[in-house]
């Protein structure tokens, strides 16, 4: 069986991580996150894993080593992964897609959800150190950061668009249909 690689993109809180968790738990797949590289560096430097720090570090790396530096690392991680289904969580830029599309059986999946739903998810999960106390106005302002601006356009390049304004069951049904079509 050929390895299916699903690059998952979408705005903050859209459900990318939920997609990855489902593939791991229900399909025996694996997931790799772009942000893991950045979080590892921040941890090593004893810096907060705040959204600001993650965005600044990403911009520094891309500016100094090329827009596709993160995608190059991800490409090798995915190539070396033995699972039949691999999620690449957090595709954010065209440079990422261009590099990852060189992988056989790569499909780009865009996960969308209304802003209010995404905001509520960000608060609940508290993934970044500055998420728990974030106001809706701050959340909206973060959508103007360089790392977030390019995401909306990626929907135009997606092989699939999933809506995550419903239940987990609704989301998983959409995801399972995509997987079934491609295995």
Q: What domains, with CATH codes, occur in the chain?
A: 4-182 (3.40.50.300)
Bridge partners of 77, per DSSP, are none
Per DSSP, which regions of 45-131 are E strands?
85-89, 106-112
Confidence (pTM) = 0.86
Residue 57 CB contacts under 8 Å (≥ 6 apart), including other chains: 38, 41, 42
> Digits of tens for pLDDT over the chain (183 positions)?
579 999 999 998 999 999 999 999 999 999 999 889 999 999 999 999 988 899 899 999 999 999 999 999 999 999 999 999 999 998 988 988 988 999 999 999 999 999 999 998 888 876 666 667 788 888 888 877 766 778 989 999 999 999 999 999 999 999 999 999 998
């Amino acid at each position: 069986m050929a390895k299916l690689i699903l690059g998952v993109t979408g705005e903050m809180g859209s459900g990318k991580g939920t997609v990855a968790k489902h593939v791991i738990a229900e399909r025996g797949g694996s997931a790799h996150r772009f942000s893991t590289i950045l979080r590892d560096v921040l941890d090593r430097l004893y810096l907060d894993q705040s959204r600001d720090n993650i965005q600044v570090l990403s911009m520094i790396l891309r500016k100094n080593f090329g827009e596709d530096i993160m995608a190059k690392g991800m490409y090798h991680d995915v190539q070396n992964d033995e699972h039949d289904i691999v999620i690449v969580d957090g595709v954010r830029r065209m440079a990422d897609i261009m590099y990852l599309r060189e992988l056989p059986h790569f499909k780009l999946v865009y996960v969308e959800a209304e802003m209010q739903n995404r905001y509520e998810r960000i608060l609940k999960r508290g993934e970044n150190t500055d998420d728990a106390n974030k106001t809706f106005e701050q959340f909206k302002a973060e959508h103007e950061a360089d790392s977030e601006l390019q995401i909306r356009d990626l929907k135009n390049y997606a092989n699939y668009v999933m809506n995550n304004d419903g239940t987990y069951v609704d989301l998983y049904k959409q995801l399972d249909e995509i997987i079934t079509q491609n295995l």
